[in-house]
């Protein structure tokens, strides 16, 4: 399930460093429920986008360098599950992931 493309600037508190991440996000759900979730994803598209951007902006210096982005994935899964009122979101995957330090 496509969640969109994201480009996020992240300021690290107490540091002059700023990070920028770009990625395409998708949610993984069982085929049996994926079709039921598609209309909800469209209905909440703006809220989902805002949630993912806000979550990504709270990444810490330790979390941002995690090659698996486990913290970001778990936060998105939890927030998305609450928003859609479902337990069927199994995972979130990122593609075209780009990370740079400025």
Asked if 18 and 8 touch (Cβ cutoff 8 Å), the reply is no
pLDDT tens digits for range 50-96: 999 999 998 887 888 788 899 999 999 999 999 999 999 999 999 99
The residue length of the chain stands at 102
pTM of the entire predicted model: 0.89
What tokens appear for 42 in the block? 């469209």
Q: Which 8-state DSSP code applies to residue 102?
A: -
3-class SS of residue 14 = coil
């Amino acid at each position: 399930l496509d969640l969109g493309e994201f480009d996020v600037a992240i300021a690290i508190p107490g540091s002059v460093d700023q990070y920028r991440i770009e990625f395409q996000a998708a949610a993984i759900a069982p085929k049996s429920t994926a079709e039921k979730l598609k209309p909800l994803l469209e209905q909440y598209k703006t809220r989902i986008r805002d949630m993912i951007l806000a979550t990504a902006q709270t990444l810490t210096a330790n979390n941002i360098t995690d090659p698996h982005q486990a913290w970001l994935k778990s936060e998105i899964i939890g927030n998305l599950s609450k928003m859609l009122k479902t337990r069927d979101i199994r995972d979130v995957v990122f593609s075209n992931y780009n990370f740079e330090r400025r």
